[in-house]
Homo-oligomer: A and B are copies of this chain.
């Protein structure tokens, strides 16, 4: 019996080698996270003259060392718990590490992933807890005249018979420039974070809605009739206001198709960078929509008014924000890293809020405009919702 299975495996593998040469097994898994949280990278490349690790967690590319057998190695000392991305530069070409099959796409770039466990990073791993459902679904947007792809997470137990009548709050979570409806579930680990926070009793069971914020595209690259094209930053920027003005199409779709509690007390909207700008504008345009607002490294004055942080705060937005804050949102949360290129813009905005005595919660973190921060902000923000 075992012999038969083994022969089948051998035949299958042999067949693959002959028939599907792309399926060459990687010789070794890399990187290895060591017990002291150092991380060892390795690559068998006897013919290469130079191999370096290229990553945002390194100040500069790290040169790997080659042994007599052609095995290149390098160890990065004690990394703090997090999800990391990197690529390898092999004789000048920056590309994927073939020894690591875990990749994430950000705009046009695929980079490898590894996780140093512990602290928040344990929230980024699929643990042995109940799990929610992640759906890739298409909604009709009458405002934009197209069907659009959207990622929707329903929490563990949503389909259980005992919850058949239960209604849930909804958290709308928006991506940044160059992102799409896959960004928060992939780069942002949003489903793992929600599963884990809910299992630990730290977050309320909620529906998480992750739309595509680029109003002139229906969906992520690869999911359009164009087929496979090169995603780029410019392609991802739609006309200012176009997405924000179509946002109620999403809310209407979600309220019509899911068991939601369709009121202000049970809606949150947050976003990163451009999506922070979207959240900022959507909530001021619709002051009765959501009681929880999250601005993560937000392009708060995104939308075509003002060309520098020093400009006078625009009257129209001042008026809208006055109405929004008169309605006392329960949480107006601003998070940004001190090295973020939008830090000054956010500081100016906080001065405006302070000058008007509009209450908000400010979270200043280390670092800059990074997914490390955005995952952290999601973890912090999600715990404060609907309580």
Contact = CB atoms under 8 A, between A and B. Distances in A.
A172 B211 CA distance: 29
Contact of A368 (B19, B22, B234, B342): B19
Interface stretch (A86-94, A315-323, A324-332, A355-363): A86-94
Interface string A18-46: 11111111100100000000000001111
A133 to B, nearest CB: 4
Interface residues of A, number: 114
Contact of A370 (B20, B234, B273, B342): B20
**Copies of this chain, tallied across the complex:** 2
Given A11-B341, A134-B136, A136-B133, A4 B93 contact: no
A148 to B, nearest CB: 10
A78 interface: no
Contact of A227 (B15, B56, B103, B115): B115
Contacts of A234: 9
A95 interface: yes
Interface of A: 1, 3-5, 7-9, 11-16, 18-26, 29, 43-50, 54-56, 58, 61, 85-88, 90-98, 100-103, 105-111, 113-115, 117, 125-128, 130-131, 133-138, 147, 149, 159, 161, 177, 219, 221-225, 227-234, 237, 240, 256-257, 273, 299, 302, 304-307, 339-342, 367-370
